[in-house]
Amino acid sequence: MRKRILPLAGLLALVLAVGLLVSQLSDGTSADPTDGTTLGFLGVNDGGDIEQSPPEFRALDAKGEDGYESGPQTGGGSVTTNSYGFDSADAGLAGGSAGSVGGGPDSAGAGAQTLVIDRKIIRTATIELTVDDVPGAVQRIETATAAAGGFVASSSITIEQQPPPDDPEEEQEIRQRGTITIRVPAESYASVMSTLRGIVDDPRDITSLTEDTSEVTEEYSDLQARLRNLEATEVQYLELLARAESINDVLLVQDRLNSVRLEIEQVQGRIQLLDDLTSMATITTFLSLPPLVVLPVEPEPELSWAAEAWENAWNASEDALETLGVAAITGGVVLVWLLIPGALVLGGWWVVTSRRRTGDTAA
């Protein structure tokens, strides 16, 4: 009898030891900062203690910014991907309820719903007009912009001086050029463009017109989805931060939280930029005066042979008279230069002759 009891007691003790070991392994105790264990990505056990993240969250943590994989659904939520390569959980924490982030039981599966976004189109235009009054045209554009609920982004008038093309030696003419950039509501774009075309009476004075539309609806939708995912991830990190029990856990979660907040601000900035570009159209107008007109030179009428001979003879006589006049003037100038030394020589000769005559008389 005793021989049978001893093996049974040993077997019972072995079973109790194995059960105790299994119980300790399945209890998910919190990380101790002294044993080198740190907080996982998003792992929280049923008891609320922080534990190492499960493999699927480690994969999400290791993907980085360029991943396109979707994580498993947890707690009735979903993991959403977008064309910008950022994945994040759109539900509660691992092991939590669907209402922890989604807003209640009714929000379970909300990640599968499609958000309808109005078309986002960026409109820009450039128009060149030839006008008689540049400052007046600028004033009309400013008035039309204010009436449409827009504003003037920039405006300038340049004054240049150019000589008349038919006679460069004449006094230079003042030329004006103007440039004005306006922003108007997208719904007023067509009416404002019609007003700009109406500034000139002749359609030929519209020397250039370029209109461009760029649709960014897909990018805007992706940014909205990315923003929702980032905000959901931020909420998860905030919950983990509230449950952290060690300094290492707090530092790790805070670092991840700062990175998510930076991405949220970047996405929000891009969304605000697209909202501004799509809600207000940009129109740039170049204004210039009409080009200077060069008057054609009328050809001289052809002369008859007699008239042409007379004209040639007259021109020859004018040339001869001009030559004689030049010769006479030249001779007079030369004579002046000859009279001076001649007068000196003549005076000297007269003095010498007078002295000789005086000497002969005295003798």
* Chain segment 222-265, per-residue pLDDT in tens: 999 999 999 999 999 999 999 988 999 999 999 999 999 999 99
Listed in sequence order, the DSSP H helices in 160-304 are: 189-197, 217-243, 247-279
Q: How many helices (H) and strands (E) does the chain have?
A: 8, 7
Comparing 28 with 5, the larger pLDDT belongs to 5
Percent of the chain with pLDDT over 70: 60
pLDDT band for 98, please (50, 70, 90 cuts): very low
pLDDT band for 59, please (50, 70, 90 cuts): very low
- Residue 173: is its pLDDT beyond 70? no
β-bridge partners, 350: none
Cα–Cα dist 49/44, whole Å? 6
| Contact call for residues 261 and 119 (beta carbons, < 8 A) | no
The predicted model gives 11-35 an average pLDDT of 55
Q: Which residue has the tokens 């003095």?
A: 351
- Residue 80: is its pLDDT beyond 70? no
Nearest CA to 238 out of 230, 120, 205 is that of 230
> Which of 91-95, 138-142, 319-323 holds the top average pLDDT?
138-142
The predicted model gives 158-170 an average pLDDT of 65
User: 50: which DSSP letter?
Assistant: B
- Residue 45: is its pLDDT beyond 60? no
Cα–Cα dist 71/356, whole Å? 145
Residues 6+ apart with CB under 8 A from 101: 77, 90, 91, 92, 232, 235, 236
Q: Which residue has the tokens 């950039």?
A: 181
Q: Which residue has the tokens 């030929």?
A: 204
| Contact call for residues 32 and 245 (beta carbons, < 8 A) | no
Comparing 108 with 224, the larger pLDDT belongs to 224
10 Å Cβ neighbour count for 264? Answer: 17
The predicted model gives 96-121 an average pLDDT of 49
- Residue 88: is its pLDDT beyond 50? no
- Residue 29: is its pLDDT beyond 70? no
| Contact call for residues 208 and 284 (beta carbons, < 8 A) | no
Listed in sequence order, the DSSP H helices in the chain are: 2-25, 55-63, 99-102, 134-147, 189-197, 217-243, 247-279, 305-362
Displacement of CA 219 from its chain's centroid (Å): 18
The predicted model gives 142-161 an average pLDDT of 92
Q: Which residue has the tokens 């002969």?
A: 360
Cα–Cα dist 110/103, whole Å? 10
Mean of all residue pLDDT scores within the chain: 73
User: 163: which DSSP letter?
Assistant: -
pLDDT of residue 175: 81
What are the strands of the beta sheet with 173-185, ordered from one edge? 151-162, 173-185, 280-288, 121-130, 206-215
- Among 8-12, 157-161, 191-195, the range scoring the smallest mean pLDDT is 8-12
Q: What is the sign, positive or negative, of the torsion defined by CA atoms of 273, 275, 278, 282?
A: negative
Comparing 100 with 148, the larger pLDDT belongs to 148
Residue 215 structure tokens: 């649709």
pLDDT of residue 320: 85
Percent of the chain with pLDDT over 90: 40
Cα–Cα dist 217/122, whole Å? 10
